[in-house]
Structure 1
Amino acid sequence: MCADSPDYKDTLNLPKTDFPMRAGLPKREPDWLARWERIGVYDRLREKPGRQSFILHDGPPYANGHLHIGHALNKTIKDMIVRSHQMMGFDARYVPGWDCHGLPIEWKIEEQYRAKGQDKDAVPVIDFRQECRKFAEGWVDIQRQEFQRLGVTGNWADPYLTMDFHAEAVIAGEFMKFLMNGTLYQGSKPVMWSPVEQTALAEAEVEYHDKESFTVWVKFRVIEGGAAEMPEGREGGDFDTANQALLAKDLKGAFVVIWTTTPWTMPSNKAVVFGEDISYGLYEVTGRPEECWARIGDRYILADKLAADVLGRARLDDGMYRRLRDVTTQELSTLRLTHPLAGAEGANGEWDAPRDFRAADFVTDEEGTGFVHCAPSHGMEEFELYRDLGMLEQVITYNVLEDGSFRADLPFFGGTAILKPNGKEGNANKAVIDKLIEVGGLLARGKIKHSYPHSWRSKAPVIYRNTPQWFAAIDRAVGDGQDTHGTTIRERALNSIDQLVKWTPKTGRNRLYSMIEARPDWVLSRQRAWGVPLTCFVKKGALPGDADFLLRDPKVNARILEAFEAEGADAWYQDGAKARFLGGDYAPEDYEQVFDILDVWFDSGSTHAFVLRDRADGTPDGIADVYMEGTDQHRGWFHSSMLQACGTLGRAPYRNVVTHGFTLDEKGNKMSKSLGNTILPEEVVKQYGADILRLWVAQVDYTADQRIGPEILKGVADSYRRLRNTMRFMLGSLGDFSEADRIDPAEMPELERWILHRLAELDEVVRQGYAAFDFQGVFAAVFNFATVDLSAFYFDIRKDALYCDGDTPRRRAARTVLDLLFHRLTTWLAPILVFTMEEVWLERFPGEDSSVHLVDIPETPAAWRDADLAQKWAGIRRARRVVTAALEVQRSDKVIGASLEAAPVVHVEDAALLKALKSVNFDDICITSHIALTGDPSPSEAFRLPEVEGIGVVFEKAEGSKCMRCWKILPDVGTHAHEGVCARCDSALA
């Protein structure tokens, strides 16, 4: 261009926007949070009339620490569910909540006491509970701010807390329904017990970790046997009727060998059981090494499948023992055994009674010896066996105390502990093993590493321990008349799972169904102080099975609930509480007040009652549309909520259950402070902003385990920048757009109508995806549309018309489409990128009351769909790919610098496609100055793409001069009124 040539730059319609490419999210996001609070976005959404309610009920996080990445994932998914449904026309309400009772908080206060040298038991219980309450309040405030910083919308001014007085009253009231409907009972059975925390635990409070345990092979001597039946298949020969009496005789004095990984249960042994379908043999020791507890001549009864392994553990090689014969289960059923400690000096007869010996269906020959030692006080299968036999009184022991130590008067082992107070191995196992060695009761010993239950709070191992506890019977008929879905809690739960609840992912159904199908009765009681007490009284002198054992009086219940509403659950612990609640109806001296507290899962399981049922922003039927938590909550909140509601509502408290997996590091490892691979939400927000964290959530398949780390976050940030660039282009092109510029779709070029068709397709994808909680699917569809269909195709083509056209129908059509795109992209993405879409919206629609979060996703006319047009343009885009690839070769070879320097000849074999290409401005679509289209066969030198058959491109340079305004090379440049421009630009300048 000559120095005195005209400069047409100012005549172009170049994009104009103050929207920055650099987002600066960490600094700017707090301003939007403050703005939403100032203008009351959440409350204003509640004022929209005539909307169907949609309730996501918040599973309460625990109020005792800063948020981790799992919290961020969880709350962000919930927020996307709520926001997307609101923008699809629902009244989507969200009440955040907190779990405030229970051992973790109590444990923290006890730690503070220990640090000060204080004794918890010396502190009045109400004072202790007040300290727990204060601790929880502090963390609620901290976590509330951290959740809000993630852009999570909700009723933060009025959340629910399980420790609120009304909540405590409702929890007590829900417990009383179990009391009154006959499902509550007191029983003594083995429960998972934490010696460190000195309380019973529910399955949901247990996690499994590898643990190294002692393992022992213990000998029970056969002391008695009667006449045996002829073994099947052994009639005649040397095994005739005359020898039957020898069967029992050669077993007397032999040993039945058991194997256990809990030697500490041996003092509580009451029986040994065998399997009816297992093949057993009698084995005799014929030789031995020096270091061996077996003696030559010893005879052992073992499962044949396991005998070699057991004898090998005793250091006996193949040549040191022989198999004498079969031992039938008929023979075994005639035998009696003696405990290895029977007759031991100083045992005071503790173990002298013969041990019961019988068949049980839970015995296998997969590991061990083929026999199982039974301590029914410390194992559910053994407990249930002897319960069903009506023999519990003969086999239950109370040898293990609350702290996991043996009762002081237990011979040899009194005062020894299974675990130390810090959760480490105590001295009980060693004491038992040493004594068994001393009395000759041990055949072998060792150690094994296996998965073992631990308390998820203290991280210490747990034990099974028989204790009196309060249970909800899940197979007893619930006497409440709500029998539509079953008469028992288990029936109602299983029917709800299959008939009333939709599961995302579907595997959640199987997981919860199998758990509830196999679970025992619900242990409701905990032996702690911070929680809602079991608000019931028992008659002194009455037994648990007696009709008057439990006091069931609506008037007493009403007095308790009235006090709890006014004073909270602390009222239960005040002086004179018993007389106050019993009123003048019962003599206080005739009743015991129960001071156990409810399982904290009963608290959270009851939240549907005081959040959904009782609040103005709840739902009248007390049923939530969605419960959404991590997969661990199939054992936890989903589970306890199901059981609790089936006992009080007669059905599940939810219609949808959505489950997310766990968050791992970039290598797929579990996050751990010790490994240094944790990613904290606070750090991500400080570096990138909350929208990047939210975008990560939208990009992962949350239904499985997800990965996060520095490299992954960099990739997320790159996706964000590409999307931001798309939004910025639209803003720049719509700067002065008004309704006067709008054009009807019928008057638009095909390219614009094709975009409208894609919008109609995507609208369905987005709505269906949001309805199905598929954020990954929604974002992938919208992102690909924005970056591929728009930025790399439509915007690339229409820049020329937008920048260079005058007030033409083509430019007005493009801007109309950009406006329609703007409203859909911003609202489609607003539930995910809450801050960025607000920034985009306000850039175009400023104003104190303006917010993208106050609008709905626009309805998309069905008339925009045009399948025939879409098919036509699919062919046009295939042809374009060949042309652009051919030009890229010329650009790489530096034959041309830009595609506008080209005027290729395109050979198209398909007549229909050729006709389609000729019906549109194919040179504009390929961003060339000219294109010649022909149906002639492609010459050999033509460029082809293997995946696109029937199209060849012969490169030619454009002829003419370069337009000084639009840069196209055309023959007519310089022939118009304005110097150095083409006809189109000359018209625009006029």
Structure 2
Amino acid sequence: MADENKTNYRDTLNLPQTSFAMKANLVQREPQMRKRWAQENIYTQIREARLGAPLYILHDGPPYANGDIHMGHVINKVLKDFVVKYRTMTGFDAPYIPGWDCHGLPIEAKVMTELGEKVRQMSKTEVRRDCMKYAGKYVKLQGRQFQDLGVFGDFENPYLTFKPQYEAGILEVFAMLVEKGLVYRQLKPIHWSVGCETALAEAELEYKDIASPSIFVNFSATEETTARLIELGLVTSEQAKDAEVALMIWTTTPWTLAANLAVAVHPHLEYVSLSYEKDGRKCVSIVAADRIEAVVAAGALTEGQYTISEKKVKGSELEGLRYRHPFIETNPTDKDAYMVILAEYVTTEDGTGLVHTAPGHGQEDYVSGQRYNLAIYSPVQDDGSYDETVPDWLRGENVLTVDKLVNERLAQSGRLFAHREIVHSYPHCWRSKGPVIFRATEQWFVGVDKELPETGRNLRAMAMDAVEKVRWIPAWGQKRIAGMLESRPDWCISRQRSWGLPIPVFVMPDGQTLLTKESVMAVAAHVGQRGSNSWFTDSPREILGDDFALPEGFDLDQLRKEENIFDVWFESGCSWYSVAAAAGWSVPVDLYLEGSDQHRGWFQLSLLPALGATGKPPFKSVLTHGFTVDEKGMKQSKSLGNYVNAQDEIAKYGSDILRLWVASVNYQEDVRCNDELIGRTQDAYRKIRNTLRYLLGNIDGFEPALDAIKYDRMFEIDKWAMCQLHKLIADVTESYENFVFHRAFSLLYNFCTVEMSSVYMDVLKDRMYCDAYDGLSRRSGQTVMYEILSALVRMLAPILAHTAEEAWEAMPFKPQDCASVHLANMPKVDAAIDYAGQQAKWQKIMTLRDEVLRALEGLRQDKTIASNQEATVTMRCTDEDAAAIEAFGVEAFAALCIVSEVMLERSAETTTVVASKSPHAKCQRCWNYWPSVGADAARPDLCQRCATVVASA
């Protein structure tokens, strides 16, 4: 028969049909879907459907309400959405209330820049009004951008830290801390931003490597000290006659020398004298014995230029010795100064073993100053300039630029022994980006080492215990935060800015402060009604009320209000109370999820107030993710110009591509991010989408309630697919439960590309297209495809929020009759299907299939065959392998290998495969080369199967 006269059997095939398009068109389709979600209020529908179910609370950490979202936001919000969507689909009521940090320096600095000179004529309340407007604008903008990612949440009612009710909650937590004696005010050194003229907390610091001067300076000993050093045997009388005796210190902050009040030595270290002549000056310097070699090298002294005393003395014997300041003639404080003190923190790792001590400019210096009753002296003003108490040549100079001037002065006076530069890590202000200084100012603190009256324990100890009970994901987070808590100082909670919640302190003219639980609660009630601006506009009488019971010595009409504001970390650190507790949720909540920098920030600064106020941590589990970095591993930022614009990526690829990219990376590490890497995710997306489309197309006309085949009647390959499906459900569930999203992605992707595309779907094409429309073989395959599709779409839903919804809509006879996949339940493993027990059996069959495919590859390469269907296979098998194939079914195994036929020969010692081109004719309907082609006289161009199907159509 001529080819042109061949019958066209296409219309007799069961070809796939589905409304689920091959081309995704995500950029066009996703906004339409989000619009419909908004119209149908999908979030409210989900909450109503889960009403009364057990709660699962992921509490949102508040980003700053400034600027467009970036890729760090994308990772953060999408990870949170994975969790919330998954927990909802496992039967929990998992509300998600997004929040924003609306106060603080980032917003105020931006507004001040925009206002320019105009700000000088504006009142504090006017500046605050503009800050509120600015923050509100970006809350709306970022809210839309988060929803563009397919994130579900109560975006109509977010929590905002400038809302009066939220502010009242902060003050109520503060009142509890005040009541327990954890809040105090003190003059002590804190990190100070010269650029922003405010105190900073640890969480507001960034560390950068900078070059600093490293100087060795001689502090001249007094006559009494020289005499004592002679007695101790460190200095001889002859040396003292014609050489200057001095204590040698080392510092990398020459600007702090103006505030020097003491020199610290370690009580148990040994000290010697170094005698030398340098630049025409003879000197005998006291130095730690273990630092002699380093000091000699720093001063470029050569052998013969110096001698070292044989005598060594302990640092404890130097206590009380006196010296003269290198450039200050008169002690500027009202307390004793310029003496040697003892301190355990002195080391021999660097320097000279004698530590220059300025109690107003260092934490350890401050502690030593308290111990020795030194003044907490800081001659530095808010703008970083020296005040009037320093020598004329220093007054008005900025401490950040004065080091060179100080060093020149020391060199001129002969006090500078050595000078070089070192590169070291130094704290910088997160906002101005400039280096910070330690500076003593009056600030309000929460004491981490103050004992709580009801427990007799302090916050630090409580926090160290709490972190052991919290689940940290990844586990190293516990060690990281524990190390930070172990060494953290008291928490400086006051700031000298305008845009924030005022610290509710009233002051009498004589300096007495009113700060009690009752006064704070009265302010909280007032702020809850009128907002925090009322602190600046209303009188103390209006705020506290006429009936407020003042302590003795206070007068309502003489009170004035302090204008320090809270550290924004204290505000966001009270969100567990202002949001979770206020909503009636139990605290601790289930999960906090933020970037890894929040061990120092939000995690730690939520933990401390929660423990102080309630004795409990605010969270049960804490998950952290890394930063987005460029191809060189550098953290991405706008200032470096190496960032990826999140809005551009959404507009280019669609949100589901970004969501899939987030799922594909190991978020526990820093994440390399660029357009090329995100773009590559499209290939994985296409393979997943094609799998869904194939499954949807092949269940056309299948009605589960009428057509489903029970497991024990299924074909063997269908049973294999069901086992693989339930193994997948178990593994994906475990991955979601343990927040290992990249494993969930990998499992789902591999299932689509390997088990489905490379095996099952390929094998079933013949049955699905060519077998009888409602025959057992086709219904068996359709039953499995329906089950796979139903489970796959639901497991993909937390990740591919839009695509899963689109597939669900295209799916007839939906499980649970849910209009949205996001209202459905996650699939569960069917206990009746022993997928684990069947794995060895299936592994044996798949291994034998691999051997057949290897043999066929040789025929394809030499062009003996164009497709596997053209081949016939003879398998000379061991008894064990033959039994496995026979149990599976020889014809079924041939179908699994997609070959014309398989013939078995038993009793071989090892199994071998011989493949050749099939001698049979090709069926013109199914294109298989089967022995039965031509057996039906009425249709000689068809195999027996196809002839029967066509005849009965």
Give the aligned partner of residue 79 of structure 1. 81
Whether the aligned pair in 2 keeps the contact of 1:258 and 1:373 (CA below 8 Å) is yes
Whether the aligned pair in 1 keeps the contact of 2:175 and 2:521 (CA below 8 Å) is no
- In structure 1, C-alpha distance between the alignment counterparts of 2:286 and 2:151, rounded to whole Å: 66
Residue 744 of structure 1: how far off its partner (Å)? 1.1
Give the aligned partner of residue 748 of structure 2. 782
Amino acid at match of 2:944: A
Whether the aligned pair in 1 keeps the contact of 2:265 and 2:315 (CA below 8 Å) is no
Summarize deviations over 1:717-745 as a string: whole Å, max 9, x none: 11111111111110111122113221111
Residue 318 of structure 1: how far off its partner (Å)? 3.1
1:112-261 maps to which residues of 2 (within 5 A)?
Answer: 112-114=114-116, 117-120=117-120, 122-223=121-222, 224-225=224-225, 249=237, 253-261=244-252
2:756 aligned with 1:765: no
Give the aligned partner of residue 323 of structure 2. 338
Residue 507 of structure 1: how far off its partner (Å)? 0.7
Give the aligned partner of residue 917 of structure 2. 957
- In structure 2, C-alpha distance between the alignment counterparts of 1:176 and 1:137, rounded to whole Å: 28
- In structure 1, C-alpha distance between the alignment counterparts of 2:636 and 2:509, rounded to whole Å: 52
Give the aligned partner of residue 945 of structure 1. none
2:309 aligned with 1:309: no
Partner secondary structure for residue 955 of structure 1: strand
Residue 495 of structure 1: how far off its partner (Å)? 1.8
* Matching residue within 819, 832, 851 for 2:786: 819
Residue 846 of structure 1: how far off its partner (Å)? 10
Partner secondary structure for residue 33 of structure 1: helix
Q: Structure 1: which 5+ runs fail to align?
A: 230-241, 420-424, 544-548, 939-949
- In structure 1, C-alpha distance between the alignment counterparts of 2:292 and 2:233, rounded to whole Å: 25
- In structure 1, C-alpha distance between the alignment counterparts of 2:337 and 2:465, rounded to whole Å: 46
1:475-494 maps to which residues of 2 (within 5 A)?
Answer: 475-479=449-453, 481=454, 483=455, 487-494=457-464
2:807 aligned with 1:840: yes
2:349 aligned with 1:397: no
2:700 aligned with 1:709: no
Summarize deviations over 1:435-461 as a string: whole Å, max 9, x none: 222332211222222211001111111
Greater Cα shift, 835-844 or 258-267: 835-844
TM-score scaled by length of structure 2? 0.94
Greater Cα shift, 302-311 or 691-700: 302-311
- In structure 2, C-alpha distance between the alignment counterparts of 1:250 and 1:433, rounded to whole Å: 30
Residue 609 of structure 1: how far off its partner (Å)? 1.0
Whether the aligned pair in 2 keeps the contact of 1:904 and 1:954 (CA below 8 Å) is yes
- In structure 2, C-alpha distance between the alignment counterparts of 1:65 and 1:244, rounded to whole Å: 66
Give the aligned partner of residue 239 of structure 1. none
Give the aligned partner of residue 541 of structure 1. 510
Whether the aligned pair in 1 keeps the contact of 2:235 and 2:284 (CA below 8 Å) is no
Give the aligned partner of residue 562 of structure 1. 525
Summarize deviations over 1:377-435 as a string: whole Å, max 9, x none: 10101111232x2x34x23213111111111342234533435xxxxx43x32332232
Give the aligned partner of residue 107 of structure 1. 109
- In structure 2, C-alpha distance between the alignment counterparts of 1:126 and 1:503, rounded to whole Å: 42
Amino acid at match of 1:552: T
Taking a change above 3 Å as real, the CA distance of residues 8 and 334 of structure 1, as seen in their structure-2 partners, is closer
2:760 aligned with 1:805: no
2:625 aligned with 1:660: yes
Give the aligned partner of residue 465 of structure 1. 439
Give the aligned partner of residue 265 of structure 1. 256
Give the aligned partner of residue 472 of structure 2. 503
* Matching residue within 566, 574, 585 for 1:606: 574
Summarize deviations over 1:675-730 as a string: whole Å, max 9, x none: 54311111111111111111111011101111122332232111111111111110
2:857 aligned with 1:888: yes
Greater Cα shift, 890-899 or 914-923: 914-923
Whether the aligned pair in 2 keeps the contact of 1:341 and 1:351 (CA below 8 Å) is no
Greater Cα shift, 271-280 or 817-826: 271-280
2:408 aligned with 1:407: no
Taking a change above 3 Å as real, the CA distance of residues 969 and 74 of structure 1, as seen in their structure-2 partners, is same
Whether the aligned pair in 2 keeps the contact of 1:582 and 1:588 (CA below 8 Å) is no
Give the aligned partner of residue 422 of structure 1. none
1:505-654 maps to which residues of 2 (within 5 A)?
Answer: 505-541=474-510, 549-552=513-516, 554=518, 556-578=519-541, 580-581=543-544, 583-584=546-547, 585-586=549-550, 587-615=555-583, 619=585, 621-654=586-619
Partner secondary structure for residue 625 of structure 1: strand
* Matching residue within 33, 55, 58 for 1:56: 58
Residue 843 of structure 1: how far off its partner (Å)? 1.8
Amino acid at match of 1:613: A
Residue 478 of structure 1: how far off its partner (Å)? 2.5
Give the aligned partner of residue 89 of structure 1. 91
Taking a change above 3 Å as real, the CA distance of residues 247 and 589 of structure 1, as seen in their structure-2 partners, is farther
Whether the aligned pair in 2 keeps the contact of 1:470 and 1:524 (CA below 8 Å) is yes
Taking a change above 3 Å as real, the CA distance of residues 207 and 897 of structure 1, as seen in their structure-2 partners, is same
Whether the aligned pair in 2 keeps the contact of 1:413 and 1:431 (CA below 8 Å) is no
Taking a change above 3 Å as real, the CA distance of residues 867 and 844 of structure 1, as seen in their structure-2 partners, is closer
Give the aligned partner of residue 298 of structure 1. 283
Partner secondary structure for residue 604 of structure 2: helix
Amino acid at match of 1:934: E
Q: Structure 2: which 5+ runs fail to align?
A: none
- In structure 1, C-alpha distance between the alignment counterparts of 2:900 and 2:232, rounded to whole Å: 108
Taking a change above 3 Å as real, the CA distance of residues 351 and 176 of structure 1, as seen in their structure-2 partners, is closer
Greater Cα shift, 972-981 or 843-852: 843-852
- In structure 2, C-alpha distance between the alignment counterparts of 1:754 and 1:213, rounded to whole Å: 68
Taking a change above 3 Å as real, the CA distance of residues 206 and 342 of structure 1, as seen in their structure-2 partners, is closer
Amino acid at match of 1:79: D
2:884 aligned with 1:916: yes
TM-score scaled by length of structure 1? 0.90
Give the aligned partner of residue 6 of structure 1. 7
Taking a change above 3 Å as real, the CA distance of residues 139 and 888 of structure 1, as seen in their structure-2 partners, is same
Greater Cα shift, 201-210 or 179-188: 179-188
- In structure 1, C-alpha distance between the alignment counterparts of 2:943 and 2:656, rounded to whole Å: 46
Amino acid at match of 1:185: Y
Partner secondary structure for residue 3 of structure 2: coil
Amino acid at match of 1:843: A
- In structure 2, C-alpha distance between the alignment counterparts of 1:6 and 1:367, rounded to whole Å: 93
Whether the aligned pair in 2 keeps the contact of 1:98 and 1:162 (CA below 8 Å) is yes
Amino acid at match of 2:767: A
Whether the aligned pair in 1 keeps the contact of 2:869 and 2:928 (CA below 8 Å) is yes
Partner secondary structure for residue 56 of structure 2: strand
Amino acid at match of 1:283: L
- In structure 2, C-alpha distance between the alignment counterparts of 1:21 and 1:132, rounded to whole Å: 48
Residue 808 of structure 1: how far off its partner (Å)? 2.1
- In structure 1, C-alpha distance between the alignment counterparts of 2:730 and 2:337, rounded to whole Å: 74
- In structure 2, C-alpha distance between the alignment counterparts of 1:356 and 1:928, rounded to whole Å: 96
- In structure 2, C-alpha distance between the alignment counterparts of 1:335 and 1:92, rounded to whole Å: 65
Give the aligned partner of residue 426 of structure 2. 452
Partner secondary structure for residue 498 of structure 1: helix
Whether the aligned pair in 2 keeps the contact of 1:301 and 1:327 (CA below 8 Å) is no
Partner secondary structure for residue 449 of structure 1: strand
Give the aligned partner of residue 303 of structure 2. 318
Taking a change above 3 Å as real, the CA distance of residues 674 and 522 of structure 1, as seen in their structure-2 partners, is closer
- In structure 2, C-alpha distance between the alignment counterparts of 1:566 and 1:330, rounded to whole Å: 61
Count of matched residue positions in the alignment of Structure 1 and Structure 2: 932
- In structure 2, C-alpha distance between the alignment counterparts of 1:330 and 1:877, rounded to whole Å: 77
Summarize deviations over 1:542-574 as a string: whole Å, max 9, x none: 66xxxxx544262x4443223212210111111
- In structure 1, C-alpha distance between the alignment counterparts of 2:62 and 2:185, rounded to whole Å: 29
* Matching residue within 855, 863, 879 for 2:832: 863
Residue 580 of structure 1: how far off its partner (Å)? 4.1
Residue 97 of structure 1: how far off its partner (Å)? 0.4
Summarize deviations over 1:78-103 as a string: whole Å, max 9, x none: 00010011111111110000000011
Taking a change above 3 Å as real, the CA distance of residues 207 and 348 of structure 1, as seen in their structure-2 partners, is closer
